[in-house]
Amino acid sequence: MTSSTASAITDSELDAVFAPIFDRIAAGAVAREVDRRLPFDEVSWLKEARFGALRVPVEFGGYGASVRQLFRLLIDLAAAESNLPQALRVHWSFVEDQRLAEPGPQRERWLRAVAEGALVGNAITEPGVGGVDRYRTRLTEDGDRLLLNGVKYYSTGSLFADHILVAADRDGERLGVLVDANAEGVVQHDDWDGFGQRLTASGTTEFTDVVVAPDRILGPGYGVAGPTYGTAYLQLVQLAVLAGIAARAERDATEWVSARTRTYTHASADLPREDPLVQQVIGKLSAAAFTARATVLAVADILDRVLDAGAKDHGDLAAAELAAAQAQLAVIDIVLAATTQLFELGGASIVSEQLRLDRHWRNARTVSVHNPAIFKARAVGDHLLNGTELPFGWSAGERRTEVTR
């Protein structure tokens, strides 16, 4: 059902395709931030290059890239525009689900659709509800039709998508339902009001009597009890965003200091770039970017092995979940410190709105609060001390079981 970790394409070949696109995307990052312009054009450039087909096997028209290669490119894309990898986050898990599915017409249909450029967004979380076992979005029968009704929030990336993966309830059963983004009864709003990651289109989506074909019901939805690769994978996308933010912060800070001639009367050198204190900050920024990148790729290597083996072994899934949680606790602290420390490089000039260097900290702070680290830290400690099962993606109401050590 899955392909070997050995990739069908090299890093150099992937860079030849995507590096020029990433550079083009990066060129407009500050202007988009200032204007709060959603990156529709930039998403279209990625679609034209079939970026969403990186993990689709070659036999279905994709690139056949490894998980490591995917996350390597997600870090680079995040350095160009941190909103984009987050906006595509659920797309990647959708592709993995299809890769892991039993061979058949439906699996081939969706893998080929993605290979041709289709993107999948999400509508999982609901406003004011919380736990995944309390979905108010319903799939109900109306004669010979199935109708979807509900309201979702944090519909990240769905405004850029062709299809939306919706978490719904049908008679007490949690389901994943795939809806066309332009289907009648679907209304999307760009009303995400966070101070960071402003361009992810993480707003409200309304579903009113949306007709759902039976073959668009994909099976058990997000939050079903049991171990899964999904929570580690989805968390790692956020960490790739953080690693990319660190890389861009280092680059922007280095370029700014290199061109700067003004310094303080009590500085250690006549030029900022020659000041050992300034050099030290740049060195720390560089170390943070390197460490975040290496950490993300280390977890990606684990996920490569887990997914190649079919993502069924409980021990393998627990190892991936633990690694992603440990990486989260390390990467968040490193990147938040780095994106704060860069302001030590200059006086009032460095907080100029024209530079928008504050976006790096704001974006990092916003990404870092997904799946709050305080809960992950406790879960990791409890797991290591007492053998308590890691939480994966099921609801807080599910009973935690202990693993045999």
* 179 contacts 170 by C-beta, under 8 angstroms: no
Do 212 and 319 belong to one domain?
A: no
pTM for the whole thing?
A: 0.93
Do 292 and 325 belong to one domain?
A: yes
What digits encode the pLDDT tens for the residues 70-103? 999 999 999 999 999 999 999 999 999 999 999 9
What digits encode the pLDDT tens for the residues 7-61? 789 999 999 999 999 999 999 999 999 999 999 999 999 999 999 999 999 999 9
Tokens of 274: 């020659």
Residue 100: give the domain boundaries.
11-119
Tokens of 158: 């769905």
* 54 contacts 13 by C-beta, under 8 angstroms: no
In the predicted structure, residue 156 carries a pLDDT above the cut 70:
yes
Residue 384: φ, ψ to 5°: -70, -35
| Residue 45 CA from chain centroid, whole number | 19
Please report how many Cα atoms fall inside a 13 Å half-sphere around the Cα of residue 325, on the Cβ side. Answer: 26
Q: How far apart are CA 123 and CA 148, in angstroms?
A: 12
Residue 287: the pLDDT is: 97
User: What is the percentage of the chain residues whose pLDDT exceeds 90?
Assistant: 81
The one-letter amino acid code at 225 reads A
398, part of any domain: no
What digits encode the pLDDT tens for the residues 98-125? 999 999 999 999 999 999 999 999 999 8
Last residue of a domain, one of 198, 220, 242: 220
State the CATH number of the domain containing residue 204.
2.40.110.10
Do 93 and 132 belong to one domain?
A: no
Q: How far apart are CA 134 and CA 395, in angstroms?
A: 9
Q: How far apart are CA 82 and CA 248, in angstroms?
A: 9
Last residue of a domain, one of 202, 220, 238: 220
Query: Left, alpha or beta for 127 (phi > 0: left; psi -120 to 50: alpha)?
Result: beta
State the CATH number of the domain containing residue 360.
1.20.140.10
Do 335 and 191 belong to one domain?
A: no
Do 381 and 248 belong to one domain?
A: yes
Q: Nearest-CA neighbor of 234 among 299, 176, 187?
A: 299
Given the DSSP bridges, would you call strands 120-123 and 163-170 parallel, antiparallel or unpaired?
parallel
